[in-house]
């Protein structure tokens, strides 16, 4: 094997930040090279430099021994570097073929559709990436859209493929499929740079790992010679607790009781069917399931954001299914929504304003309709310190903070109010190891204090390590509720896929 890409001593300085500081990286031909690092470690900056979007302030880039001096992504593409961004760059109303050839269409002045489709069929056969060239991109699943992005790179003869957090938006099944694709590409001699902050994925798929921290490359390791603990420590720069340490399960009184709940979506299709379950104080109830099996509708119904068709929602022995959202908050229910930027925060409000988003009408923060900013700022400075929100200036707009710190604002607001019931939907989505550790710690503290927690997550690992009991939802029905200690990955997986009988057999 010989080096395909060499990055030597690259430095890139943005105002106030050394985003890349003497970065070194060597990617061999036909290897999957993972770049591991927390949010803000400089992974994206490095990739953007390799892809020609940024010009480095100093250092050298070499591709197959030839020095690269890229003036833009078009040159990178020309040299055989392809990149699939975390957020896809596709035009939904165009077909797969049209998206792939866009900018390099076959044919002269008129677009040769037949030729384009032919070329794409050929590439998809060569690389085993099955796809229908005539399908509209908007009709494809996220996994297939990603495939279109990969095909785009190979249509332009990529030798080196950069995948920027490719699994962030995928279901576990789609992730497996993607890994299959990556392995086949590797066999065909394609080099892949795989950016991630998920340790298990890096361990599973990569040949080598380069760890980045604060703009520097901390080291490059052979994946098979290392373990997740070592990688996590390198990434965060200190000893990290990967295993969740949980105290004994001491369930209290029933806090939330859902009985025969049925909820329909906008098209009046029933998404939650006759669901019943209970959550007690001092317990974490994990709701496992594949995305789109009714979790969203269930949670929205619990929070009063969606009308229910029938059923009863009891909270501390009183019916709440008719109460508006705000009244439910007032009763001591907290909610960490799935999409922090769209649902949890107002990005153009300051951190201090976001911290009172649900309590601004409370007598603690306003009198006769006038907001008491002195109190608001007192609260903000307390929460910023307690939840380690950085930077500490709470007059900054929430949108200027990193994803991890944005989530901490929500956490400070929702957990800090010491709720009797916390509904947390994917609270660690897109977070890095250090932040996940912190969020898990806070959830467990709340549990140990006697609160009830409903944890909805697509990460089986997270559900299994935190939950005292696990409910598995499939197609709007809770298939079974398992004991957190004895539940196995296989059993939950089968229930998630909807096979009740098979699961029972496994039990036997």
Interface contacts to another protein, rule CB under 8 A? 303, 305, 324-329, 335, 337, 342-349, 353, 357-358, 360-361, 366, 369-371, 373
Output 102 or 371, the one with its CB closest to another protein.
Answer: 371
d(CA 505, CA 501): 6
Which is nearer to another protein, 194 or 335 (by Cβ)? Answer: 335
Residue 334, both tokens:
């907290």
Decide whether 179 or 349 has the Cβ nearer to another protein: 349
Nearer to another protein by Cβ, of 168 and 371: the residue is: 371
Of residues 440, 473, 418, the one with CA closest to residue 273: 473
How many whole angstroms separate alpha carbon 466 and alpha carbon 344? Answer: 23
Instruction: Establish whether the linkage from the previous residue to 391 is cis, with ω within 30° of 0.
Output: yes
Q: Supply the minimum distance, in Å, between the C-beta of residue 42 and another protein.
A: 23
Instruction: Give the shortest CB-373-to-another protein separation in angstroms.
Output: 7
Please say which residue, 294 or 344, places its beta carbon nearer to another protein. Answer: 344
The least CB distance from residue 326 to another protein, in Å, is 3
Distance of CA 46 to the CA centre of its chain: 21
- Alpha helical stretches, state H, 432-485: 433-448, 460-466
For residue 374, the minimal CB distance to another protein (Å) is 12
> Judged by CB, which is closer to another protein: 299, or 479?
299
Report the alpha-carbon distance of residue 88 to residue 82 in Å, rounded: 13
**Residue number with CB closer to another protein (92 or 324):** 324
> Hey, is 401 helix, strand or coil?
coil
Q: How far is the CB of 274 from another protein (least distance, A)?
A: 26
Phi-psi map region of 46: left, alpha, beta (phi>0 left; psi -120 to 50 alpha): alpha
Question: Alpha-carbon distance 339 to 305, whole Å?
Answer: 15
Helix %, strand %, coil % of the chain (to 5): 35, 25, 35
Strands (E) in 155-240, as ranges, are: 160-164, 191-196, 208-213, 216-222
3-class DSSP state for residue 350? strand
Q: 127 and 184 in contact (C-beta within 8 Å)?
A: yes
Least distance from another protein to the Cβ atom of residue 120, Å? 36
Element (H, E) at 335: strand 333-336
Specify the residue, 327 or 385, whose C-beta has the smaller distance to another protein: 327
Minimum CB distance to another protein, residue 202 (Å): 33
Yes or no: say if 47 and 164 are a contact pair by the CB < 8 Å rule.
yes
Indicate the residue among 127 and 394 with the shorter CB distance to another protein: 394
87 backbone dihedrals φ, ψ, rounded to 5°? -100, 120
Helix (H, G, I), strand (E, B) or coil at 12: strand
Nearer to another protein, 27 or 345 (CB): 345
Kindly state the smallest distance separating residue 423's Cβ from another protein, in Å. 11
**Residue 375 is inside which H or E element, if any?**
helix 373-386
Tell me whether residue 132 or residue 265 sits nearer to another protein (CB atom). Answer: 265
What tokens does 417 get? 């109010």
Nearest to 427 by CA among 446, 408, 444: 408
Residue 12 or 159: the one with the smaller Cβ distance to another protein is 12
Interhelix angle 228-236/433-448, nearest 10 degrees? 100
Q: Which is nearer to another protein, 249 or 349 (CB)?
A: 349
Q: Considering the complex, what minimum distance in angstroms separates the CB of residue 331 from another protein? A: 12
Q: Give the shortest CB-474-to-another protein separation in angstroms.
A: 26
398-403 long-range contacts (CB < 8 A, ≥24 apart) are 398/345, 398/346, 398/347, 398/348, 398/349, 398/350, 398/351, 398/354, 399/341, 399/347, 399/348, 401/351, 402/39, 402/40, 403/39, 403/340, 403/430, 403/431
Dihedral angle at the C-alpha atoms of 344, 347, 350, 352, nearest 10 degrees?
10
The CA-CA-CA angle for residues 292, 293, 295, to 5°, reads 85
């Amino acid at each position: 094997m010989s080096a395909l890409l060499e990055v030597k001593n690259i430095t890139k300085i943005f105002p106030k930040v050394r985003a890349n500081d003497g970065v070194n990286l060597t990617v061999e031909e036909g290897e999957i090279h993972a770049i591991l690092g927390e949010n803000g470690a400089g992974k994206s900056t490095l990739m953007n430099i390799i892809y020609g979007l940024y010009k480095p302030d100093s250092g050298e880039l070499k591709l197959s021994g030839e020095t690269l001096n890229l003036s833009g992504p078009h040159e990178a593409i020309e040299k055989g570097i392809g990149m699939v961004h975390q957020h896809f760059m596709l035009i939904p109303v165009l077909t797969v073929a049209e998206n792939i050839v866009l900018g390099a269409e076959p044919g002269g002045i008129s677009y040769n559709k037949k030729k384009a489709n032919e070329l794409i069929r050929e590439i998809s056969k060569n690389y085993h990436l099955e796809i229908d060239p005539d399908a509209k991109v908007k009709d494809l699943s996220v996994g297939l859209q990603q495939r279109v992005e990969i095909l785009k790179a190979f249509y332009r003869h990529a030798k080196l493929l950069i995948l920027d957090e490719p699994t962030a938006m995928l279901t576990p099944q789609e992730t497996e499929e993607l890994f299959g694709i990556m392995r086949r590409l590797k066999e065909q001699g394609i080099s892949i740079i795989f950016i991630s902050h998920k340790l298990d994925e890096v361990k599973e798929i990569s040949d080598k790992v380069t760890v980045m921290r604060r703009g520097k490359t901390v080291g490059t390791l052979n994946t098979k010679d290392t373990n997740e603990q070592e990688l996590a420590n390198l990434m965060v720069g200190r000893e990290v607790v990967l295993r969740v340490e949980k105290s004994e399960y001491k369930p209290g009184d029933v806090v939330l009781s859902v009985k025969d709940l049925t909820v329909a979506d906008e098209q009046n299709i029933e998404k939650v069917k006759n669901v019943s379950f209970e959550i007690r104080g001092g317990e974490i109830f994990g709701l496992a399931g594949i995305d789109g099996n009714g979790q969203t509708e269930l949670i929205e119904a619990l929070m009063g954001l969606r009308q229910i068709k029938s059923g009863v929602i009891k909270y501390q022995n009183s019916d709440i299914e008719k109460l508006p959202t705000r009244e439910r908050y007032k009763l001591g229910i907290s909610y960490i929504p799935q999409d922090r930027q769209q649902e949890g925060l107002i990005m153009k409000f300051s951190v201090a304003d976001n911290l009172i988003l649900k309590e601004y009408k409370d007598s603690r923060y306003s009198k006769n309709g006038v907001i008491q900013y002195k109190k608001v700022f007192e609260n903000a400075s307390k929460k910023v310190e307690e939840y380690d929100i950085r930077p500490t200036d709470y007059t900054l707009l929430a949108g200027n903070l990193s994803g991890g710190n944005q989530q901490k604002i929500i956490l400070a607001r929702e957990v800090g109010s010491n709720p009797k019931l916390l509904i947390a939907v994917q609270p660690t989505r897109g977070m890095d190891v250090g932040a996940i550790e912190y969020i898990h710690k806070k959830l467990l503290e709340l549990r140990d204090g006697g609160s009830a927690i409903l944890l909805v997550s697509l990460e089986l690992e997270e559900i299994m390590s935190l939950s005292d009991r696990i409910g598995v939802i499939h197609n709007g029905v809770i298939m079974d509720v398992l004991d957190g200690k004895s539940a196995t990955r296989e059993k939950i997986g089968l229930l998630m896929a909807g096979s009740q009988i098979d699961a029972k057999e496994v039990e036997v």
